[in-house]
Structure 1
Amino acid sequence: MDEEAREDARRWLAEEGVTRVGEDEWTDGEHPGQRITTADVAVRWADQVFVDERLDPAGQLRLAFGLLDLLDVYWVTAEIGFPLADPEVGLSAEAHWDGYRQRLEAPEAGEALTYSLWVDWFEDARTSASAFAEVLGRDVDRLRADAPEPLLRRAGRVLEVSGPVPWPVKEPALRAAAGVPALHREVFRGLLNGYHSVYGDLEPSAALALLAALDLPPDTEHLTPLRRVLTAGHANHYRSRDAWAAATSHGSDRHGIP
């Protein structure tokens, strides 16, 4: 989160008459007696950032990310992504991904950001590989136990939602992260989501080898059933719907789909 950009977004909204008056209550200045939600603010105002002629494209993008920091609503990420598809807008893809990387490295990262990575970038076969490269893939060689904490935070957050990323694209990052004890939980979550996501992708034997390399508590929820389905050669819950039920039908392993 960029506190300065967040404050700029708050001021920009205030200039438009939009101010926060409660936990999830805002006034838009036009109807003083009415209240709107944070989601309403995002839907009504996120697109207006990119038509503010007082700002150049770089300034608009920075303000949009500030609005995301302020509101933490998924729709803001959608509006941030739309201009990339329009070459006439002149929005820098590098600046776009810089905004993602910066926030993924912050001590606190909004849920909207990682959700957008999952549903808008990683689930889309046209963008999955390039997006993964931008937010983590190019830094695989830096994933070591002594790596800077911000990089480890970014790696963990990306790996957790990497389920839909094609296995050949994400495997090098997963293998590197398996050598970093601080990332073992996130590697596990990435493998688990790779199995359970509708668009998830993993290679059972390689994923099983990665799972064996992780130092996890033996009672980690879903660990045993995941090991069982991978051992049986199953790659995805939705292509073998009965496999998970069978794997969880053994006493304490009876956990549902996460």
Structure 2
Amino acid sequence: MEREAVEAARRWLVDQGVRQVRDGWVNDEEPDVLLTANQVAHSWADGVFAEDLDAADRLRLAFGLLDLLGEYWVTCEIRFANERPEDPLPADVLWDGYRRRLEAEGDAEAVTYSLWVDWFEDHTTSERAFAEVLGDDIDRVVAERSEALLRRARRVLECSGPVRWTVKEPTYRTAMRLPALHPALFRALRASFHDLYGDLDPAAALALLGRLELPENPRHLAELRHVLAAGHKNHYRSPRAWDDAVRSCS
């Protein structure tokens, strides 16, 4: 959470008549009605992009609101704003905002969920998004090994299931050089099989799986190895394959 951005968002909400109280939020128009952070996000987040500010400052304010509320809906409004052809958001500020929050300590669920279901499941945006949040930086992650960079890498890998295999495989291979990322790579491969839009090449994924240094017998390792060895690419394309693997490995 970036304190300056949070306080700017808090002041903006106060200007809209919305204040934080002990158990939630209240609106000056209905001060006796307690609101959740999710309700505040749905009702006011879009207003950030109507402010008389330049696009970069509106986006920074939106990220502050995300930090303050911790609600996925704020990321939806960011993406809606980015899709406006007449006034797209500045890409450098957009992706820097994602990277900084992926590196921060604390809960990043709204950010990772946004990457997973919005940016990564949409193949018109997944390649650029994956490159921005990890692919272009993976060599630096492996070389520097700072806690912040490793935190970002783990979070991105674990939600990268829907990214096309040809896009993410080079990053996976580079991440293999760092054993600290191996558990996250295992979860990435598992998600690449199980996600509705997950994508992998079974033979290549099996080869990577065989090189991972993992705790003894992690859950679902044997089953994942079984379905990949059988040539299955995705749980939903082969709905019986996982159950067969469970029976075979039990």
Shorter-chain TM-score tier: over 0.9
Map of 1:31 onto structure 2: 30
Query: Counterparts in 2 of 1:61-72, with a 5 A limit?
Result: 61-72=59-70
* In 2, Cα distance between equivalents of 1:227 and 1:62: 44
In structure 2, how many angstroms separate the alpha carbons of the residues matched to 1:131 and 1:47?
22
> How many angstroms does 1:146 deviate by?
4.2
Aligned equivalent of 2:46: 47
Larger mean Cα displacement after TM superposition, 175-184 or 88-97? 88-97
CA contact (8 A) 1:18 1:26 kept: yes
The AA in structure 1 aligned to 2:204 is A
* 1:109 CA drift (Å): 4.2
Aligned-partner Cα distance in 1 for 2:131–2:89: 19
Work out the CA distance in 2 between the residues paired with 1:79 and 1:241. Answer: 35
Give percent identity, aligned residues only: 57
Aligned match of 1:199: 197
SS at match of 2:247: coil
- The answer to whether the Cα contact below 8 Å between 1:145 and 1:179 also exists between their aligned partners in 2 is no
Distance 1:126 1:190, change over 3 A: same
Aligned residue number for residue 241 of structure 1: 239
When normalised by structure 1's length, the TM-score is 0.92
Establish whether residue 86 from structure 1 lines up as the match of residue 84 from structure 2: yes
How far, CA to CA, are the matches of 1:94 and 1:143 in structure 2? Answer: 19
Q: Which residue of 2 aligns with 1:21?
A: 21
Structure 2 letter corresponding to 1:124: D
Q: Equivalents in 1 of 2:142, 2:214: separation in Å?
A: 18
C-alpha distance in structure 2 between counterparts of 1:185 and 1:85, whole Å: 35
> For 1:6, what is the secondary structure of its paired residue?
helix
Structure 1, residues 116-144: CA drift from partner, whole Å, max 9, x if none? 10111100011111111111111132232
Partner residue in 2 for 1:121: 119
Quick one: which amino acid aligns to residue 209 of structure 1?
A: A
Higher deviation after alignment, 191-200 or 131-140 = 131-140
> Which structure 2 residues correspond to residues 177-192 of structure 1 after superposition, within 5 A?
177-192=175-190
What is the CA distance between 1:56 and its match in structure 2?
A: 2.0
The 1:18–1:213 alpha-carbon spacing in structure 2 relative to 1, beyond 3 Å, is: same
Amino acid at match of 2:30: H
Structure-1 residue corresponding to 2:97 = 99
Aligned to 1:9: 9
Tell me how far apart the structure 2 counterparts of residues 27 and 126 of structure 1 sit (CA, whole Å): 39
Task: Report the residue type matching 1:29 in the other structure.
Answer: D
- Distance (Å, rounded) in 1 between the aligned partners of 2:141 and 2:32: 53
**Contiguous gaps of at least 5 residues in structure 2:** none
Q: Name stretches of at least 5 consecutive residues in structure 1 with no aligned partner.
A: 254-258
Any idea what the Cα deviations from partners look like across 1:49-91, whole Å, max 9, x if unmatched? 11112x2221111010000011111110011111222243252
Matched residues, number:
250
The residue number in structure 1 matching 2:58 is 60
Q: Quick one: distance in 1 between partners of 2:20 and 2:175?
A: 41
What amino acid does structure 2 have at the position aligned with 1:127?
T
Q: CA deviation at 1:17?
A: 2.0
Kept after mapping to 2: 8 A contact 1:211/1:227:
yes
Q: Render the CA deviation track for 1:193-215: whole Å, top value 9, x for unaligned.
A: 00001110001111111111111
